[in-house]
Structure 1
Amino acid sequence: MMPDQDFDPDDNFANGFEPGMELDDEAGTEALLWQLLLLINPGDEETALRQFAACRDALAEDEDADPAWLLKDAIDWTSGFYIDAADTASLIDAVNELVSRWNLRIDWGVEDPTDEDFLAATDVPALMATAYDRLREYDYTLWTWNTGDDAHAGWIASRRDDEAMQAIAHALGIELRAASDAF
């Protein structure tokens, strides 16, 4: 049986999502979590599987758990970050750790991003905007989700999956934005 759509080498099927496509309203939380994990672990299904197992275990314990918090616990410092709202040094460390998976380096606009004067003169939203801009140059998007508390959290996905990321996050009830416009 032939696929319903033609292969487009520019989007590589965009993980099966068409522009404007809506997700099945009946899609289960597990299925949506799996799709999101595939997006934030591009090319690394092994890590996505490990994180999915952690999410499934947590869902088994509490089937009403908030998907954002399940993801936070499963992906922290591997495929995502969760930091205090004023902790600029941790954001730099977390993003640098995340982009190292693809052998990338973020140009933070200074020679030493760990310099205390630099860290004191900036804030987390400004640093997230810088990271967002630098990652777009490599066709990645830095995302942030609304934690509802005094913290910032997010993950990185391929730029070609922007629409899919927004659709899946919405279906999971996660308020998500590009990090250029942090919460």
Structure 2
Amino acid sequence: MSARDHDFDPDDNFAFGAADDEGDDSEHEGDIEVLAWQWLLRINPGDEESAVQQFQAFRETLGDDDAPESVQAALEAATDWRSSFRIAEDERTTLIDALTTLSERFRVEINWDVEDPTDDDALAGASTSALLEAAYDQLRVAGYTLWTWDTGDDTVAGVIAPRDDDEGMRVIGHGLGFDLRPGPG
């Protein structure tokens, strides 16, 4: 019986991680779902309802394709602008908007140290890396970590999670195939 044959119970965080009855504990069809669920819980702290909605969207998008690129794409699609972002590197105002929106979920207000963070001209001298660093520093003080990963193109992507679970984020991110790093990297 596969993980997809079970009803998903969001309170059973390790339901699919147990060894099967045949004794073959080296591969589990549900491992990706377990990791995805743990990822979603961490990037939606205290908001299990959002995590459940995003998990269902992830499962629908992923289908039966568990290739690392497909898993990442399905997670990004399920969480985009809800608990993650993926923005073109040169779209600084959109990056600020995304990070402001996501940080508001944690009641953190980021000071961008720019006269008007909604004005492209005012942001002309600010690099994407400097903006990510400003967000990272202020989120850390508030108890959160901004995580980004290599997208393989000219975009920047990331999530915000509680700082006290940095090691868990590293392990889960690696298991999902994300080249995860804190801040702008």
- The question of a shared fold, defined as TM-score above 0.5 by the shorter chain, is answered with yes
Do structure 1's residue 154 and structure 2's residue 158 form an aligned pair? Answer: yes
Q: How does 1:54-73 map to 2 (within 5 A)?
A: 54-64=57-67, 66-73=70-77
Q: How many pairs are equivalent? A: 160
Q: Which residue of 2 aligns with 1:43?
A: 46
Q: Which residue of 1 aligns with 2:134?
A: 130
* Residues 137/173 of structure 1: CA separation in 2 closer, same or farther (3 Å cut): same
Q: Which residue of 2 aligns with 1:116?
A: 120
Identity, % of aligned pairs?
A: 49
Q: How does 1:8-47 map to 2 (within 5 A)?
A: 26=27, 28-47=31-50
Name which structure has the greater RCO, CA cutoff 8 Å, separation 6+. Answer: 1
Contact 2:71 2:176 in 1 (8 A): yes
Distance in structure 2 (CA, Å) of the matches to 1:45 and 1:26 = 27
* Residues 73/25 of structure 1: CA separation in 2 closer, same or farther (3 Å cut): farther
Distance in structure 2 (CA, Å) of the matches to 1:88 and 1:116 = 7
Contact 1:85 1:152 in 2 (8 A): yes
Contact 1:130 1:180 in 2 (8 A): no
Do structure 1's residue 172 and structure 2's residue 157 form an aligned pair? Answer: no
Distance in structure 2 (CA, Å) of the matches to 1:49 and 1:169 = 19
Tell me the amino acid that sits aligned with residue 103 of structure 1. Answer: R
Distance in structure 1 (CA, Å) of the matches to 2:40 and 2:63 = 18
Contact 1:41 1:48 in 2 (8 A): yes
Do structure 1's residue 93 and structure 2's residue 97 form an aligned pair? Answer: yes
The alpha-carbon deviation at position 113 of structure 1 amounts to 1.6
Which stretches in structure 2 are left out of the alignment for 5+ residues?
1-12, 15-24
Look up the SS of the partner of 2:82 in the other structure.
coil
- Give structure 1 regions of 4+ aligned residues with deviation exceeding 3 angstroms: 24-27
TM-score (norm 2): 0.80
Which stretches in structure 1 are left out of the alignment for 5+ residues?
1-14, 17-23
* Between 131-140 and 98-107, the greater mean CA deviation after superposition: 98-107
Distance in structure 1 (CA, Å) of the matches to 2:57 and 2:32 = 14
Distance in structure 2 (CA, Å) of the matches to 1:111 and 1:119 = 9
Distance in structure 1 (CA, Å) of the matches to 2:115 and 2:141 = 19
Q: Which residue of 2 aligns with 1:3?
A: none
TM-score (norm 1): 0.81
Contact 2:115 2:122 in 1 (8 A): no
The alpha-carbon deviation at position 103 of structure 1 amounts to 2.1
Contact 1:67 1:174 in 2 (8 A): no
Q: Which residue of 1 aligns with 2:80?
A: 76
Larger radius of gyration: 2
Tell me the amino acid that sits aligned with residue 37 of structure 2. Answer: W
